[in-house]
Amino acid sequence: MLDLKRYYEGKRVFLTGHTGFKGAWLTLILSKLGADVKGYALAPTSEADLFVQLNGDSLCNSVIADIRDRDRVKKELLDFQPDFVYHMAAQALVLDSYHFPVETYETNVMGTIYVLDALRQLEKPCASVLITTDKVYENLEIEDPYPETARFGGYDPYSNSKACAELAISSYRNSFLNPKDYKKHHQSIASARSGNVIGGGDWSGNRLVPDIARALIASEPIVIRSPNSIRPWQHVLDPLHGYLLLAAKMAEDPIRHATGYNFGPEPSDVRTVLDMCELAIENWGEGSFTTPNLQNQPHEAGLLKLAIDKAKTELNWKPRFDSAEAVQWTINWYRDGRDDALNYTSRQIKAFF
Ligand SMILES: NC(=O)c1ccc[n+]([C@@H]2O[C@H](COP(=O)([O-])OP(=O)(O)OC[C@H]3O[C@@H](n4cnc5c(N)ncnc54)[C@H](O)[C@@H]3O)[C@@H](O)[C@H]2O)c1
């Protein structure tokens, strides 16, 4: 953390999606690093949201606005004159993307373009990390982990909108903010693709760990949809550490690191949804699950692994937790931390770093 403080203390960080699950964790970490954070996102959806529980309004200048409001994005970003940008605001749920495809594309693609377009007008050095997902790669359902050079695809509107965002990032970086012209525009643009993130304080609907936590707290059986699916599970602190390292390295060498990076668990750390469920029950101490025979489910990928060699070599990053530790830290949070979220989350951050 001391190392990271060197880069972030007193620096201005523009963070979109600060009211979400990952955004709330990042807001707290950045405040501990001494950064001046301006958040831009929709309002939290309930009192239980981690951002509210952390008293997020006291940790940052919180702007509640829509990422689809092009003029507002530009105004808030340029008024702030950031040193770093993390763009995380998104419609982030696969199942919701089947219900609201148009809104998903508007938010995830045009929202990203509005951030990029505002950056074109920023006349000071700034390192920007735009967060997409592991699901941007065309999923061939193969054992081989996808490297950063794999072809983009995306079956469902969420994954596909994030792949479209990657293409937009690449086009803006080539056309307007090209690393070879860095001395003219001073912008370094990278994208970050992380795996399925778990951790305390996520209460989203239709996500595995929040569904598990809700069932365990209510002493009800956990209902699992796709028991045999394999995902790159990781604790939220691991990819956030990766994003922080990436932007810090971009500040040092803005040309070299203006590219895409994967952040995931070791590809050998393979767990199915069922494994994760069993680990959670073991850590909680009791519980049960059911796997109903659900008909006509929307398509979800069955097998997905990420290659993380680039982040290891270029950033000296590696996951600190394996998936079993990630579940343990997560379940501990839901059991012991949810009534004292600020202190408990702070302790986990301190212990991690
Ligand atoms: N959670 C995961 O497993 C995971 C994995 C890979 C990538 N990601 C990506 O990481 C980022 C954060 O994910 P999360 O899990 O914290 O999601 P989340 O749903 O908890 O938070 C989403 C955030 O985006 C904001 N947002 C949504 N629509 C908006 C709009 N129209 N205007 C302004 N703000 C809007 C919300 O207010 C919230 O702050 C997203 O870009 C997501 O796609 C998440």
Cα–Cα distances (Å) from 326 to 191, 208, 236, in that order, read 24, 14, 8
pLDDT of residue 30: 98
pLDDT at residue 232 tops 90 = no
Q: How far is the CA of 91 from the centre of ligand 1 (A)?
A: 6
Mean pLDDT of 295-313: 83
pLDDT at 344 over 80: yes
Task: Kindly report the protein residue whose alpha carbon is nearest to atom 27 of ligand 1.
Answer: 90
* Structure confidence at residue 296 (pLDDT): 66
Nearest CA to ligand 1 atom 43: 92
More confident residue, 187 or 229: 187
Assign 241 a pLDDT band (cuts: 50, 70, 90): very high
Ligand 1 atom closest to Cα of 131?
Answer: 41
Q: Average model confidence (pLDDT) for the chain?
A: 95
**Residue 194: count of CB within 10 angstroms of its CB:** 26
pLDDT for residue 123 is more than 80: yes
Helix (H) or strand (E) holding 351: helix 341-352
- The yes-or-no verdict on residue 102 having pLDDT over 80 is yes
Q: If you measure from the C-alpha of residue 335 to the centroid of ligand 1, how many angstroms do you get, rounded to a whole number?
A: 24
Q: What domains are defined for the chain?
A: 10-352 (3.40.50.720)
Of the residues 158, 172, 243, 334, only one is catalytic, namely 158
pTM of the model as a whole: 0.97
* pLDDT-derived band at 258, boundaries 50, 70, 90: very high
Mean pLDDT over 293-305 rounds to 73
Region for residue 136 given its phi and psi (left: phi exceeds 0; alpha: psi -120 to 50; beta: otherwise): alpha
Q: What DSSP line would sit under 241-308, residue for residue?
A: HHHHHHHHHHHH-TTTT-SEEEE-S-TT---BHHHHHHHHHHHHS---EE-----SPPP--SB--B--
pLDDT of residue 2: 61
**Token output for 295:** 């008909």
pLDDT per position as a tens digit, 132-144: 999 999 988 888 9
Dist. CA 104 → ligand 1 center (Å) = 11
Instruction: Name the pLDDT band for 298 (thresholds 50, 70, 90).
Output: confident
CA atoms of 69 and 327, how far apart (whole Å): 37
With a 6 A CB cut-off, is 62 part of the ligand 1 pocket? no
| Token output for 215 | 């069932």
**pLDDT per residue over 61-96, tens digit each?**
999 999 999 999 999 999 999 999 999 999 999 999
Q: What is the dihedral of CA 46, 192, 91, 81, to 10 degrees?
A: 70
Which atom of ligand 1 is found nearest the CA of 103?
A: 31
The strands making up 126-131's β-sheet, listed across from edge to edge, are 61-64, 36-41, 12-16, 84-87, 126-131, 187-194, 260-263
Contact (CB, 8 A) for 18 and 24: yes
Q: Is 97 in the pocket of ligand 1 (CB under 6 A)?
A: no
Ligand 1 pocket, 91 CB below 6 A? yes
At 73 the pLDDT is: 98
The tokens of 199 are what?
Answer: 């951790």
Rounded to whole angstroms, how far apart are CA atoms 304 and 251? Answer: 31
User: Does residue 197 have its Cβ closer than 6 Å to ligand 1?
Assistant: yes
Ligand 1 centroid to residue 87 C-alpha, Å? 9
**Token pair of 210, please?**
């929040």
pLDDT reported for residue 292: 77
Give the atom of ligand 1 at the shortest distance from the alpha carbon of 24: 16
CA distance 140 to 137: 9
Ligand 1 centre to CA of 285 (Å) is 31
pLDDT computed for residue 299 by the predictor: 74
Residue 344 falls in the annotated catalytic set: no
CB distance 198 to ligand 1 below 6 Å: no
The residue ranking higher by pLDDT, 159 or 140, is: 159
Q: Give tens-digit pLDDT for 19-45.
A: 999 999 999 999 999 999 999 999 999
Q: State the pLDDT at residue 286.
A: 95
In this prediction, residue 300 carries a pLDDT of 72
* Mean pLDDT of the region 99-103: 98
Residue 230 DSSP code: B
Structure tokens, 82: 């950031």
With bands split at pLDDT 50, 70 and 90, how would you rate the model's confidence at 184? very high
Window from 81-95, 195-209, 249-263, 286-300 with minimum mean pLDDT: 286-300
φ, ψ (nearest 5 deg) of residue 87: -105, 105
Q: Are 325 and 235 in contact (CB under 8 A)?
A: yes
